[in-house]
Structures are given as C-alpha cells and as structure tokens.
C-alpha cells in the first residue's frame, strides 16, 4: 500500500507536497511526529476519506477499513453488544454475528458486560469495546489514530497488550498514529518519523533493536 507523489493543501497551507510513503501488508506501521504535523491527514488519504489534490493511493482497491480513535465513538443508544452488531449487520448473518461478537468481547474481557449501556462503562471499558468492534469487522486495513492517548499508565499498558493479542490472532495492515515514543516502539514493525509542513519523512526505522530506536526517537 502506497501514497505516490501526493500533494494536499488546505486553503493556503500545503500539508503534503509530492509525498511518497509505503505500508507493508499485515504489518504495523507507525506515523510518528508532533501533533499537527499531518499524520491523521496521511491516514485519511489512505482510507479515501480525504482525496489528494495530486498523486494517488496504490494497493487499497476494494479494501475494507476499520478505525480506533482517541475517543471510543460508540453509539450511546445501543448497548455494548449492539455497538458491534451495528457494523456487522451488512456483512454476516445473525448466527455468525453472535459467534464473532461474543468471541471478541471475551478477548477484551467484556463478555459479561455485553448488555450494558455505554454510559455505564468506564473510559477504559468503552475503549475496549471500540477495539473489539474494529477487529470484529472484517477489515483489511486498520487505522489507529492515537487510541491510547489520555489513558493512565496501567490502562494504556492493558490496552496495548489487548491490541497485540488481537493483532496476532488476526494480522492486518495497521496504520498507527502516535507521538508517544513507548507506544511507537512497543507496537510497531516500522516507524516513519515525520516533520515540518509540507510533511517530510526524517527516517524509516525498522524496529529490531528497541533501545537503539528509542534513543533515535528521543533525540528528535
């Protein structure tokens, strides 16, 4: 999956200019950089939400996308089970949906909460529902837009462990957005470090020696 020669501007702001980037299939690729640098715009162009002004996206034809955002974005008038069922209704028959939903709720340790309303959940529980929903949907590409931002240390580590376990069980191409060094190192196979506007790639780091990569990221 690639962006090739992509330019994108918003009014007078040129965010991307002749920009190229590639994402390995069934790997977790991190877009790492400060807030506002353009990470989310890159992901939105990949997903087809934002059209490029010039250039094109290669390797996403007929791909299905799912998302996990910083906030859970759950439907409060549905319960936990129904929030996942809602995105699967046009994909699977009811019997298959029941099996899939129950399986993913067990994976995020929320099986006994499936009939709870969203307002009855803690923030961490709601984010786990969001994670289960993203993996329950049969997507090819998963967009993770700072999904652990704002969580306390313990909860963030729990969420990262859940994500890693779910990804191992159902490996997909992941575009992971963060400006947190530990998250980038812990989750990613490849890290692109970004700067400036128009966006430039400083480096493409393959995560094999975590301590070395950490030092590079901290030095930016």
Residue 6 has pLDDT above 90, yes or no: yes
Residue 145 forms beta bridges with which residues? 177
The pLDDT of residue 220 is 82
Q: pLDDT of 14-49, one tens digit each?
A: 999 999 999 999 999 999 999 889 999 999 999 999
Q: pLDDT of 152-191, one tens digit each?
A: 888 999 999 999 999 999 899 999 999 999 999 999 999 9
pLDDT band per the 50, 70, 90 thresholds, residue 150: confident
Angstrom CA distances, 170 to 8, 27, 137, 142, 151, stand at 33, 11, 11, 11, 25
Distance between CA atoms of 216 and 155, rounded to whole angstroms?
A: 26
Q: Quick check: 60 and 95 in contact, CB under 8 A?
A: no
pLDDT band per the 50, 70, 90 thresholds, residue 219: confident
Alpha helices (H) along the chain = 39-47, 80-88, 94-107, 123-136, 153-169, 181-187, 210-218
What is the reported pTM? Answer: 0.93
Domains in the chain (CATH in brackets) are: 2-63+140-218 (3.40.50.300), 76-138 (no CATH)
- Section 76-96 average pLDDT: 97
């Amino acid at each position: 999956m690639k962006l090739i020669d992509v330019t994108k501007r918003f009014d007078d702001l040129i965010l991307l200019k002749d920009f190229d980037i590639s994402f390995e299939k069934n790997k977790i690729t991190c877009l790492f950089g400060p807030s506002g640098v353009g990470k989310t715009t890159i992901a939105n162009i990949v997903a087809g939400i934002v059209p490029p002004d010039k250039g094109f996206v290669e390797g996403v034809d007929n791909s299905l996308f799912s998302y996990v955002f910083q906030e859970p974005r759950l439907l409060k008038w549905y319960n936990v089970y129904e929030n996942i069922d809602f995105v699967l209704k046009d994909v699977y028959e009811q019997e298959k949906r029941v099996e899939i939903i129950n399986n993913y709720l067990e994976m995020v340790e929320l099986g006994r909460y499936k009939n709870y309303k969203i307002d009855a959940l803690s923030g961490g529980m709601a984010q786990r529902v969001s994670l289960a929903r993203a993996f329950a949907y049969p997507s090819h590409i998963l967009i993770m837009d700072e999904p652990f931002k704002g969580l306390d240390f313990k909860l963030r580590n729990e969420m990262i462990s859940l994500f890693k376990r779910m990804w191992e069980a159902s490996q997909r191409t992941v575009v992971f957005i963060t400006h947190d060094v530990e998250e980038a190192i812990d989750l990613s196979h490849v890290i692109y470090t970004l700067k400036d506007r128009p966006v430039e790639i400083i480096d493409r780091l393959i995560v094999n020696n975590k301590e070395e990569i950490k030092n590079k990221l901290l030095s930016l």
